[in-house]
């Protein structure tokens, strides 16, 4: 009996590192809210994914993206934003115009909201003004574009 216990202990110790590698890591979650349909948003979505890739975030590998589409029904946007908030994303990207950005921003004051246009732009850095012009810098000279996005952390 003693010999079997020793063999089982050695076997378990040898297999333990393999079990540690099999643990799933949690990827940061990015919420994507659009007032349009997936077909209408295809160029914006592709640009959004290309922008994320340039910062090292790849859907399914280094980040997880959850999409919500309103298909032109603006009355669904608050409910879709609430669905995304239940998933606790690190950031919410909104595409399809100002209504989706407004719905995401009114749903949460604590989660950063990105507005997806032809280029992926991050919200201006309020603490660090820069000489780089940003669309909002015309109205507020103390703001400027951030050179790199904040690092996303899993919930």
Q: How far is CA 115 from CA 30, 34, 76, 112, in A?
A: 13, 10, 18, 10
Per-residue pLDDT tens digits for 117-148? 655 455 444 444 444 444 444 444 444 444 55
Tell me the pairing of strands 120-121 and 113-116: antiparallel
Higher-confidence residue of 108 and 19: namely 108
Mean local confidence (pLDDT), 94-116:
87
Q: How does 16-50 read in b/e, with b if 16+ C-beta sit within 10 Å? A: eeeeeeeeeeebbbbbbbbbbeeebbeebbebbbe
**Is residue 97 a part of any domain in this protein?**
yes
Decide if 154 is inside a domain. Answer: no
Kindly state whether residue 7 falls inside one of the protein's structural domains. Answer: no
What's the CATH number where 75 sits? 3.40.50.2300
Domain of residue 101 covers 29-125+132-138
- Under the banding of pLDDT at 50, 70 and 90, the label for residue 155 is low
Q: Answer yes or no: is pLDDT of 11 > 80.
A: no
Predicted TM-score (pTM) of this structure: 0.63
Residue 8 lies in a domain: no
In a domain, 110, yes or no: yes
Span 86-104, pLDDT tens digits = 999 999 998 888 889 889 9
Beta-carbon contacts of residue 43 (< 8 Å; ≥ 6 apart): none
User: Between these two residues, 84 and 26, which has the higher pLDDT value?
Assistant: 84
Q: Is residue 50 part of a domain?
A: yes
Quote the number of domains for the chain: 1
Would you state the pLDDT for residue 70? 95
Strand order from edge to edge, sheet including 120-121 = 64-69, 29-34, 91-95, 113-116, 120-121
Look at residue 17 and tell me if it is in a domain.
Answer: no
Say how far residue 103 (Cα) sits from the centre of its chain. 17
In a domain, 18, yes or no: no
């Amino acid at each position: 009996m003693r010999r079997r216990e020793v063999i089982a202990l050695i076997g378990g110790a040898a297999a333990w590192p393999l079990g540690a590698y099999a643990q799933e890591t949690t990827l940061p979650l990015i919420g994507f809210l659009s007032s349009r349909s997936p077909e209408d948003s295809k160029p914006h979505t592709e640009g959004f994914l290309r922008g994320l890739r340039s910062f090292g975030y790849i859907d399914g590998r280094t980040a997880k993206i959850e999409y919500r589409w309103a298909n032109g029904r603006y009355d669904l946007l608050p409910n879709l934003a609430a669905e995304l908030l239940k998933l606790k994303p690190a950031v919410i990207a909104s595409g399809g115009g100002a209504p989706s950005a407004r719905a995401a921003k009114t749903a949460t004051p604590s989660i950063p909201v990105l507005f997806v246009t032809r280029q992926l732009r991050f919200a201006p850095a309020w603490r660090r003004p820069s000489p780089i012009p940003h669309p909002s810098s015309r109205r507020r000279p103390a703001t400027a574009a951030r050179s790199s996005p904040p690092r996303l952390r899993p919930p």
